[in-house]
């Protein structure tokens, strides 16, 4: 899918839009009007062509030739996937300086000259993108990507992917205790089931910049069961349910080394497909069950440590925690007993001896509670 920008100059006889919807209506009306070549479009295109912050030819095509071919009052062109947010920031900066405004349909933002963001309540989205781009610094280092570039670029790109889907990012990120890394940003949205949280963190491992994107999907219904069975635990435990890391679908465990720009953009491709699809599916309890049971199947790369082909559902079922087991009781079919036995066997085989008896007892305690106190809701219950 192309990422289109619309560049226009607010007509002198029209007031500056105060609402995003006003700006969008004005742009689409002007887009249908023919006009001679706009000198400001030409000036912007020449400055874009001269920009070397992302290599010699970062644009899709020749911006000068495209601007010369534009015979409308709105210039429409597309941004590439690589360095997308840095290039967007460059276009907005150059266009606004020339008195031109930019409509970004994908972000749902109008960036008006000289420095107005519509809608104003979403100005923080643009602020976070700009902060990420500025932190990243140059994208053309001959020594390879720096940690600042990796985490700044990823922050800008993640914000652009997640903000249009209703995710919000608090000003002060919360650390995750599961990784030895610095948290850069958290993204959260409420769902009919409960909520979804993505945490961006960074670190240096073996002298290489590394990025972690931790994904966690939780159901309040599952959390209520966990609260009842394991009251000694905390809220983070109750809500850490369907969790994984970006990289899992390419066989990379948690910390993704960013040795080249391609490594970072590979993470972004994985975010677009399949992670965003998984997030959409798991907005509901039934959607979570379809993922954790394998009804909606995703294969994982073969691992020499696994004797059988691995799937995302197997990861969810065997991972630390009990979300898949509780979900199977609530919404699954006739395979609950087999899943419970498999979870018990997994704890017996994989947990270190000092903890083994306790972890097996937890499975037994949970299964007993479900059978005695929780009514099933699945079609085969």
Average pLDDT in the 249-263 region? Answer: 92
Query: How many helical (H) and strand (E) elements, i.e. helices and strands, does the chain have?
Result: 15, 10
pLDDT at residue 142 in the model: 54
Decide if 62 is inside a domain: yes
Decide if 299 is inside a domain: yes
pLDDT at residue 245 in the model: 95
d(CA 36, CA 55): 31
User: Residue 1 above 80 pLDDT?
Assistant: no
Q: Which of 116, 147, 165 is the last residue of a domain?
A: 116
pLDDT at residue 176 in the model: 75
Q: Smallest Cα–Cα separation from 48: which of 30, 62, 34?
A: 62
Domain range spanning residue 54?
A: 3-116
Q: Which of 67, 97, 116 is the last residue of a domain?
A: 116
User: Residue 304 above 70 pLDDT?
Assistant: no
Is the pTM higher than 0.95? The answer reads no
Provide the number of structural domains found in the chain. Answer: 2
Q: Which of 84, 116, 148 is the last residue of a domain?
A: 116
Decide if 253 is inside a domain: no
pLDDT at residue 209 in the model: 95
Of the candidate ranges 52-61, 133-142, 234-243, 370-379, the one whose mean pLDDT is the lowest: 133-142
Decide if 229 is inside a domain: no
Of the candidate ranges 94-108, 135-149, 209-223, 247-261, the one whose mean pLDDT is the lowest: 135-149
Neighbours of 207 (CB within 10 A): 5
Q: How far, rounded to the nearest angstrom, does the alpha carbon of residue 114 sit from its chain's CA centroid? A: 30
Q: How far is CA 296 from CA 309, 313, 317, in A?
A: 16, 9, 14
pLDDT class of 306 with cuts at 50, 70, 90: low
Q: Smallest Cα–Cα separation from 301: which of 288, 314, 292?
A: 314
d(CA 243, CA 330): 19
Half-sphere exposure of residue 92, counting CA atoms within 13 Å on the CB side? 23
Decide if 139 is inside a domain: no
pLDDT at residue 124 in the model: 94
Decide if 226 is inside a domain: no
DSSP, res 99: T
Dump pLDDT digits (tens) for 29-49.
999 999 999 999 999 999 999
Decide if 126 is inside a domain: no
State phi, psi for 169 to the nearest 5 degrees. -125, 115
pLDDT at residue 353 in the model: 86
d(CA 59, CA 54): 9
Decide if 64 is inside a domain: yes
Q: Smallest Cα–Cα separation from 27: which of 16, 37, 36, 38?
A: 16
d(CA 354, CA 356): 6
Dump pLDDT digits (tens) for 75-99.
999 999 999 999 999 999 999 999 9
């Amino acid at each position: 899918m192309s990422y289109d920008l619309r560049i226009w100059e607010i007509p002198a006889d029209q007031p500056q839009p105060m609402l995003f919807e006003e700006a969008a209506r004005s742009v689409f009306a002007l887009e249908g009007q023919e006009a001679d070549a706009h000198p400001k479009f030409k000036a912007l295109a020449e400055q874009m062509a001269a920009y070397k912050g992302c290599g010699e030819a970062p644009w899709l095509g020749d911006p000068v030739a495209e601007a010369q071919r534009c015979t409308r009052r709105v210039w429409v062109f597309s941004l590439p996937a690589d360095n997308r947010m840095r290039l967007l920031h460059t276009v907005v900066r150059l266009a606004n300086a020339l008195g031109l405004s930019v409509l970004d349909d994908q972000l749902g933002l109008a960036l008006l000259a000289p420095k107005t963001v519509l809608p104003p309540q979403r100005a923080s989205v643009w602020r976070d993108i700009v902060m990420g781009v500025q932190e990243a610094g140059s994208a053309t280092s001959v020594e390879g990507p720096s940690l600042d570039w990796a985490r700044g670029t990823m922050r800008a790109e993640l914000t652009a992917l997640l903000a249009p889907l209703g995710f919000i990012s608090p000003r002060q990120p919360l650390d995750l205790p599961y990784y030895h890394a610095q948290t850069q940003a958290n993204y959260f949205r409420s769902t009919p089931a409960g909520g979804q949280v993505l945490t961006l963190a960074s670190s240096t491992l073996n002298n290489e910049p590394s990025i972690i994107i931790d994904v966690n999907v939780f159901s309040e219904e599952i959390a209520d069961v966990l609260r009842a069975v394991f009251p000694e635990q905390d809220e983070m435990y109750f809500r850490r349910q369907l969790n994984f890391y970006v990289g899992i679908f390419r066989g990379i465990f948690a910390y993704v080394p960013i040795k080249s720009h391609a490594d970072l953009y590979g993470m972004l491709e994985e975010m677009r497909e399949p992670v965003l699809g998984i997030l959409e599916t798991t907005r509901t309890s039934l959607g979570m069950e379809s993922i954790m049971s394998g009804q909606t199947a995703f294969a994982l790369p073969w691992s020499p440590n696994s004797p059988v082909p691995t799937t995302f559902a197997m990861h969810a079922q065997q991972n630390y925690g009990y979300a898949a087991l509780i979900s199977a009781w609530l919404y699954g079919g006739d395979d609950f007993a087999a899943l419970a036995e498999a979870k018990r066997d997994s704890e017996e085989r994989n947990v270190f001896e000092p903890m083994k008896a306790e972890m097996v007892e937890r499975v037994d305690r949970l299964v007993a509670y479900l059978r005695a106190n929780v009514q099933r809701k699945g079609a085969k219950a």
